[in-house]
Amino acid sequence: MIKVGLLGCGTVGGGVVQLLRANASYIEARVGAPIDIARVLVRDPNKERVAELDRDRVTTDAAAVLGDPSIDVVVEVMGGVEPAREHLAAAIAAGKQVVTANKMLLALHGGELLERARKRGVDLAFEGAVGGGIPVIRVLRDSLASDTIASLSGIINGTSNYVLTRMRQGGLSFEAAVKEAQEKGYAEADPTLDVGGGDAAHKLVVLSMLAFGARLDGARVSTEGIDAVEPVDHAFAERFGFVVKQLAVAKLKGEGPSAPLELRVHPALVAEDDPLANINGVLNAVAIEGRALGPCLLSGRGAGDMPTAVSVVADLVDVAIAKKSGVSGNMTRAIRLGDRHLAPMADVEARYYVRLSVFDRPGVLAKITGSLGERAVSIEQLVQQGRGTADVPVDVVILTHEAKEAAIQGALEAIGKSDYVARAPRMIRVH
Ligand code: NAP
Ligand code: HSE
């Protein structure tokens, strides 16, 4: 029997308990032994849990799980950095196999934990940490190990994608859409991590660790959330043939093991015929560009109890097989990390969508185009919607040609300080 210590039994932990019960005989045949959830660590022992949980196994004492020598595998689905990091380090030190879905922990301490696991000869598996049920970790770690990954672009926060979709297609307010995502179990305990872009940034670090072999513990990814996207941005995006999506982008900038990486998370205008534009609701997708492979798109449900449980239990099956076969640690040994720098945002080159709220006075457009032109930012399209006055602002929306981020930021700073704008300019990068 493979004995499991489950740290956390909330949305994902509950899904793990249910999936292990539902597929028990199939999983036993696959592993060659039954998997038994021996101990379950929670904060509140009296909370209602999934019916499949044996409540006699529930404890609030971490030592009862981590100090139990009969436990073979520790599955961490409690979230947060501490005490999760401390518990995983203790489990690894005790020679237990480890599975986690905790992207925040991996983004901050993944390199350190992988090193601990490698030295101790145990596996640290984390398919559930990115993309919910999409097998993107295995693809980057194993299937594409022969290729150089040039870039990856993804919709990797289910909550943000759900909120943007419900705002655009259902006409919901931002607040109402976030509430729905929380009720469906998609959001983090602190949903500002989702809508502020922090969760996607954590996942981008985890993906980049595997895609580029980069040690990125605590890397500061340039991050913007979806909280500033307004219904009018969806309408203008559609008019220009785009859809607004929250994207996470990683690019290799150059050749060789020390080439820097461009990592960024922000809302983006995605052309409506791009496959990413049609990834809606809680679906996630990761578009990978391999130098030899070319494009590869992985998509599926990116959040929620059962999709994430599929990945967590698949990891559990893998590490249980490794344990029984006496080959633990091979999965972790396959991940080798080296240092890489992040390229500055000022060097990013993109097309830009700019929305200005300006007073409708003679000569204003000339001043705007002048500010852009002085910095070599060329305009592709310009629309003024409606009729303002000298005191009532009107929306002017500009799509630029390819320009340097430093140039557009400089122009927007100058425009933002001028007396003809009613509020700070809004900028969204075009993917
Ligand atoms: P959740 O519903 O809030 O569940 C967290 C569980 O951990 C709860 O059972 C909680 O106990 C327990 N817990 C938290 N801190 C604890 C502590 N200090 N000591 C003991 N128990 C503690 O969270 P979740 O949505 O399942 O997410 C869990 C992890 O999976 C997070 O790292 C999250 O980022 C990740 N993840 C979530 C999803 C998703 O769709 N939800 C998808 C992929 C990855 P109580 O129940 O007693 O409060
Ligand atoms: N809160 C996360 C999301 C859960 O919405 O994508 C999946 O990691």
CATH number at residue 366: 3.30.70.260
Return the pLDDT at 390.
77
Q: Is 102 in the pocket of ligand 1 (CB under 6 A)?
A: yes
340 lies in some domain: no
pLDDT (tens digit per residue) in 361-402: 899 999 999 999 999 999 999 999 888 787 889 999 999 999
Q: Is 303 in the pocket of ligand 2 (CB under 6 A)?
A: yes
Domain count for the chain: 3
Full pLDDT tens readout for the chain, 431 residues: 999 999 999 999 999 999 999 999 999 999 999 999 999 999 999 999 999 999 999 999 999 999 999 999 999 999 999 999 999 999 999 999 999 999 999 999 999 999 999 999 999 999 999 999 999 999 999 999 999 999 999 999 999 999 999 999 999 999 999 999 999 999 999 999 999 999 999 999 999 999 999 999 999 999 999 999 999 999 999 999 999 999 999 999 999 888 999 999 999 999 999 999 999 999 999 999 999 999 999 999 999 999 999 999 999 999 999 999 999 999 999 999 999 999 999 999 999 999 999 999 899 999 999 999 999 999 999 999 888 787 889 999 999 999 999 999 999 999 999 999 999 999 999 99
363 lies in some domain: yes
Return the pLDDT at 389.
80
Task: Judge if 328 and 288 occupy the same domain.
Answer: no
User: Whose alpha carbon is nearest atom 7 of ligand 2?
Assistant: 303
Task: Judge if 287 and 310 occupy the same domain.
Answer: no
Quickly tell me which residue has 């000569």 as its tokens.
Answer: 363
15 lies in some domain: yes
Nearest to 303 by CA among 166, 129, 431, 140: 129
Report CA(194)–ligand 2 centroid distance (Å): 7
Report CA(217)–ligand 2 centroid distance (Å): 20
Return the pLDDT at 125.
98
Task: Judge if 292 and 372 occupy the same domain.
Answer: no
Question: At 431, is the secondary structure helix, strand, or coil?
Answer: coil
Task: Judge if 211 and 325 occupy the same domain.
Answer: no
Which residues lie below 8 Å from residue 22, measured CB to CB, with a gap of 6+? none
- Is residue 179 classed exposed, middle or buried when 0-12, 13-18 and 19+ CB atoms within 10 A define those classes? middle
411 lies in some domain: yes
How far apart CA 265 and CA 215 sit, in angstroms, is 19
How far apart CA 314 and CA 4 sit, in angstroms, is 14
Q: Is 302 in the pocket of ligand 2 (CB under 6 A)?
A: yes
Nearest to 91 by CA among 106, 107, 69: 69
Q: Is 131 in the pocket of ligand 1 (CB under 6 A)?
A: no
* Cis amide bond preceding 83, omega within 30: yes
Task: Judge if 212 and 282 occupy the same domain.
Answer: yes
pLDDT (tens digit per residue) in 321-341: 999 999 999 999 999 999 999
Return the pLDDT at 421.
95
Residues 282 and 165: beta-carbon distance below 8 Å: no
Return the pLDDT at 358.
95
* Catalytic entry in 203, 245, 251, 323: 203
Task: Judge if 283 and 142 occupy the same domain.
Answer: yes
Task: Judge if 183 and 214 occupy the same domain.
Answer: yes
Return the pLDDT at 256.
85
- Is residue 337 classed exposed, middle or buried when 0-12, 13-18 and 19+ CB atoms within 10 A define those classes? middle
Task: Judge if 260 and 375 occupy the same domain.
Answer: no
**Would you call 245 a catalytic residue per the annotation?**
no
This prediction's pTM: 0.97
Task: Judge if 297 and 331 occupy the same domain.
Answer: no
CATH of the domain at 184: 3.30.360.10
CATH of the domain at 36: 3.40.50.720
Residues 18 and 50: beta-carbon distance below 8 Å: yes
Residues 403 and 349: beta-carbon distance below 8 Å: yes
Task: Judge if 127 and 143 occupy the same domain.
Answer: no
Task: Judge if 318 and 284 occupy the same domain.
Answer: no
Return the pLDDT at 257.
81
254 lies in some domain: yes
**What is the token pair recorded at 190?**
């602190």
User: Whose alpha carbon is nearest atom 8 of ligand 2?
Assistant: 303
Nearest to 311 by CA among 113, 92, 85, 126: 126
Task: Judge if 269 and 416 occupy the same domain.
Answer: no
Return the pLDDT at 385.
82
**What range defines the domain where residue 151 resides?**
136-302
